[in-house]
Amino acid sequence: MELKKNQEILLTIEDFTREGEGLGKYQGFPLFVKDTVIGDKAKVSVTKLKKNYGYARLVEILEPSPDRVTPPCPVARQCGGCKIQQLSYEKQKEFKWNQVANCLKRIGGFDGIEAKMEPIYGMEHPWRYRNKAQYPIGLDKDGSIIAGFYAGRTHTIVPNTDCLIQAEVNKDILEIILRYLRKNHIRPYDEKSHTGLVRHVLTRVGFVTGEIMVCLVLNGKKEQLKNSAALVEQLRQIPGMTSIMVNTNKEKTNRILGASCETLWGRDYIEDYIGDVRYQIGPLSFFQVNPVQTKVLYSKALEYAGLKGEEIVWDLYCGIGTISLFLAQKAKQVYGVEIVKEAIDDARRNAALNQMDNVTFYVGKAEEIVPAEYQRTGIRPDVIVVDPPRKGCDETLLHTMTTMAPSRIVYVSCDPGTLARDCRILCEEGYEIERVAVVDQFGHSCHVESVCLLSNSKCTDLKSESTDA
């Protein structure tokens, strides 16, 4: 092989990986090139060579692909956040829809699945869509305090106070905080020496309520934030400011938040809505980051569940119960299962906040709780909803589900590969895919969210037979 590291070559990009990298072949040898899209003709520089493939860096676009756009964010290339801003939003949607179709076909063996797939539900405005941001605080080369985002795969901070997928108000918040830190000579945290105080700034914005939370993550307690009254005084002038908090994280860890929080000013939570359901969100709460598209996704799940008011529904991997509460508006009884205890605390509080008494939550592994409860009560659900993490459902859980024989299974997925694998198992045991919807929750990233309705007509029959008997 003639290729060498740092060699500059011309490459035509022919494919696009699931991670959003362009792929071109140099004399048959595949090279992955970040920041390129299918159809680009580019000058690239080889960065790494393996036996059967390599990586290269984009040097210059010679002929742009018709699908290429100029990323509106000036630091799109350096920042580790948006990976595919250079691809037009129309093509991003196509890329995501095709990924779901391809996984269902290749991994699931569902030929002709396209006919069951709805057109993708894209964002109307694919910018400023996130309600939560976490900015690392650090020093630049000249020693000035900066806030921004980590560059891809490193902890180098790319300074940016105005990220285009975050709320505009974050810029004002960060500028106030940076000014305050400079004026009071407060040092940012340094990972290498494990010294300094301020690690991250977390913001949360309620899109419906307009309520704002700012949380400074410190390698220390709130008393170490000298003159904090001055900071509070400035921040509370921002319309919507509801909660100013400190989170303590003294560990040598990549985890952003520590376990304990203190309030500097205001409440210790903000509220927001998804549809008609109200949620209280603290600094540590898990909450979907794109509330507008979450409503689209969960409305689809609710539609697929086909509830009329008399149903018994399980919501597995329920998190803080977002889907459970959505379903409870239309079902007789909902049971939610989640492994993280704090999430279930939030779920129960939110059920009470919305005066919903037809939801019961369990803390534990879905694959343990569900068979145990089924054995104890023998009650068959009408619908089971699952929303597992990327690794998908535990296989034993899938078998328990088909044994419980609900007439409908609604599978909400953040990974089309495991969705396809799990649907295949469900279909081998009598279910059939009826509908699939892809909902874009994370424009300019490679994340793909979808929801799939599976049904088993025999199960409905069985049930009506048993009620007749």
Residues annotated as part of the active site: 414
Q: What is the 3-state secondary structure (H, E, C) of 342-396?
A: HHHHHHHHHHHHCCCCCEEEEECCHHHHHHHHHHHHCCCCCEEEECCCCCCCCHH
Q: Which is nearer to ligand SAH, 160 or 441 (CB)?
A: 441
Q: Which is nearer to ligand SAH, 99 or 441 (CB)?
A: 441
Q: Which is nearer to ligand SAH, 92 or 288 (CB)?
A: 288
For residue 438, CA distances in Å to 106, 206, 376, 407 come to 17, 25, 37, 22
What's the min distance (Å) between Cβ of 100 and ligand SAH?
18
Q: Which is nearer to ligand SAH, 113 or 448 (CB)?
A: 448
Which tokens in the block code for residue 401? 């589900």
R_g over Cα of the chain:
25
Distance separating alpha carbons of residues 363 and 98, to the nearest angstrom: 36
Q: Which is nearer to ligand SAH, 95 or 411 (CB)?
A: 411
The H or E element containing residue 271 is: strand 270-274
Distance separating alpha carbons of residues 132 and 285, to the nearest angstrom: 11
Distance separating alpha carbons of residues 412 and 402, to the nearest angstrom: 17
Number of neighbouring beta carbons within 10 Å of residue 356: 16
Secondary structure of residue 230 in the 3-state scheme: helix
What's the min distance (Å) between Cβ of 322 and ligand SAH?
3
Contacts of residue 100, defined as CB under 8 A and 6 or more positions apart, other chains included, come to 117, 416, 419, 436, 438, 448, 450
Q: What is the DSSP letter of 120?
A: P
Pure H helices in 217-290: 228-235
What's the min distance (Å) between Cβ of 272 and ligand SAH?
13
For residue 286, CA distances in Å to 123, 233, 392 come to 22, 28, 19
What's the min distance (Å) between Cβ of 337 and ligand SAH?
5
Residues that bind ligand SAH (CB under 6 A): 288, 317-320, 322-323, 337-340, 343, 365-367, 387-389, 394
What's the min distance (Å) between Cβ of 301 and ligand SAH?
9
Which tokens in the block code for residue 95? 């890329």
Distance separating alpha carbons of residues 399 and 377, to the nearest angstrom: 18
What's the min distance (Å) between Cβ of 468 and ligand SAH?
35
Q: Which is nearer to ligand SAH, 363 or 462 (CB)?
A: 363
Which among 5, 11, 2, 15 has a CA at the least distance from the CA of 60? 11
Q: Which is nearer to ligand SAH, 35 or 338 (CB)?
A: 338
Q: Which is nearer to ligand SAH, 318 or 351 (CB)?
A: 318
Beta bridge partners of 151: 79
Would you list the DSSP string of 152-170? TTS--EEE-S--TTB-THH
